[in-house]
Structure 1
Amino acid sequence: MTVAARAPHRVVGYARQVATVLRTLPGTDLVGLYLHGSAVLGGFSPAHSDVDLLAVVGRNTGEAGQYRLGTAVGRTVDRCPGRGLELTVITAATARTPGGCPFEVRVAGTATGTPHVIPGSGHPGDPELVLHLEVCRRYGLAVTGPPPDRVFSPVPAHRLREAICGQLDWALVQGAQGYAVLNACRALRFLADGNLCAKVEAGRWYLSRSPHHPLVAEALVLHQSGDHRELSGAGARFVADARDLLLAAQD
């Protein structure tokens, strides 16, 4: 199945609305807008999944421009067909050479809440952003702009492993059982074959190798039902073991 066929029509339609806002906002210099996350990897659920977008602009917009851009996009959040919007805006230079992963602005919000706008000016950058860049390069849907592989450069494997380790560290402290265990499955899938996949697909992949694994089978049910129960001791050990394997691969 192609990316375009996999992406839900309502999500693509909403992403086009965001693209229109970005194109018509003075001084934005939009290069392209790319849909990533579960909408292109599979497993998108309107009740439980965010709409993940990565916008690329030609140049730094400055703090005032970042707020203006974020506020304009934030006005569309009430139309978002998923749980909420997660938009990050970066420059074309960052798409080609991530470095410390600076961003212009981030917008996060749900249909019922006030959008949260985080300007990138003065921010040290987000190392985990490399995962979004690589997912966009491999699987992203160009809502507007050139094909992703003409905008995003390949991210070295060691940087992807570092970012995945960061996600697992966060999951050990903050993650719910379903999220954390499936994220560990995603890490193990990347170690096995370099694939970056959705959490649900990762869980199913793990069960194909270890049928009826109770922890992973439970995690799939919890994640797909929206149950955010706390990470158990067994779940934490599973995540920590995946993290240890990633660190060993780093060495």
Structure 2
Amino acid sequence: MEKRKWSEEPDGVNCRPEWAGGGYAFCEEVLSGVTAAAGQILGQALTGVYLHGSLAMGCFNPDGSDIDLILVINREMTDREKRLFMEEVVKWNCRAPQKGLELSVVKEEFCRNFVYPTPFELHFSPVHLKWWQEDPMGYIRGMKGTDPDLAAHFTILRKYGITLAGAAVEEVFGEVPREAYLDSIRRDVENALEDVCKEPVYIILNLCRVAAFVREERILSKAAGGEWGLSRLPEKYHKIIRDALAAYQWDEAKVFDPILAREFCREVLTLIHSDGERYS
């Protein structure tokens, strides 16, 4: 498979012009820094470094998107390697966009022969920064386990992912079963009713893209999910979907009707858990 160029927009969605294909230039220093650090610290153990998420999908917004990475290794990491790498990650996280870096380190065997939930060697996101700062050794020994989210990340990687270093995506990541991907993305929206008033843009667009997969097996970005929702979901919800898209893509300030937002969540969650029978 030929590597996709940054200027291509995989979902055909109108991303903000200065970031469609330009997000890489904005984040290049961070991506290069993390990739170089991984190579220096892990050496031959590093299979590859892979970009997924909004930056790979052509819908990056520096005010609302993070940088999503998966690092693949061919053996377990030592505590020393974890400490050295985390020091670099935290340094580069400070130079990242507002939402920072999110990354997982996964052994190659679990990428090629998928296991669900997927074991990981190390994980970082800004949510866990305080733990690392207060107890580095506890973090190193405790931040290891399994993560259902990796099923969604790997699926996105196989469709949109960009190889930053090492082996090509298709050489490393095996097929993720539909059931695992569906369970992963359903988990991501299971608290939508409780969260929609706090994070309306994320919840509304995420529900749309989960519904797009349930109904049509489409693997979409949040922006493309919103566009799908405008063409497939009831018209009474089109305004809040359009407002979510405007806020996500153009940083337009929007006020969401909490009653309508919760009604939208209930209806789309019903669709999601009925496996797409409604609106078919």
TM-score of the superposed pair, with normalisation by structure 1: 0.85
- Gap change, CA 1:196 and 1:226, over 3 Å in 2: farther
Per-residue CA distance 1:102-126 (angstroms, 9 max, x = gap): 211112239xx95765547574411
Q: Distance in 2 between matches of 1:128 and 1:106?
A: 12
Q: Which has the larger radius of gyration?
A: 2
Q: What is the letter of the counterpart of residue 162 of structure 1?
A: D
Q: Provide the identity percentage.
A: 25
Query: Does the CA contact (< 8 Å) of 2:158 and 2:173 recur in 1?
Result: yes
Change (3 A) 1:122 1:217: closer
Structure 1, unaligned stretches of length 5 or more?
none
Query: What is the root-mean-square deviation of aligned Cα atoms in Å?
Result: 3.0
Matching residue of 2:242: 217
Q: Once the 2 structures are TM-superposed, how far is the Cα of residue 153 of structure 1 from its aligned partner?
A: 0.8
Q: Which residue of 2 aligns with 1:208?
A: 231
Q: 1:133 to 1:70 in 2, by over 3 A?
A: same
Deviation at 1:239, TM superposition (A): 2.4
Q: Does 1:186 align with 2:209?
A: yes
Instruction: Look up the match of 1:4.
Output: 6
Q: Deviations over 1:112-159 (max 9, x none)?
A: x95765547574411121100111112100000111111011111111
- Whether contact under 8 Å (1:37, 1:52) holds in the other structure is yes
The corresponding residue for 2:84 is: 68
Q: Does 1:242 align with 2:236?
A: no
The one-letter amino acid paired with 2:245 is L
Work out whether residues 3 and 140 of structure 1, in 8 Å CA contact, stay in contact via their aligned partners in 2. Answer: no
Alignment counterpart, residue 109 of structure 1, candidates 123, 126, 129? 126
In structure 2, give the amino acid aligned to 1:133: F
CA contact (8 A) 1:66 1:120 kept: no
> Aligned residues, how many?
249
Structure 2 alignment gaps of length 5 or more: 9-20, 133-138
In 2: Cα distance, 1:102 partner to 1:66 partner: 16
Equivalent-residue separation in structure 1 for 2:96 and 2:145 (angstroms): 29
Distance 2:41 2:254 in 1: 38
Counterpart of 1:182, as a letter, is L
- C-alpha distance 136-26 of structure 1, shift in aligned 2 (>3 A): closer
Alpha-carbon offset, residue 64 of structure 1: 4.8
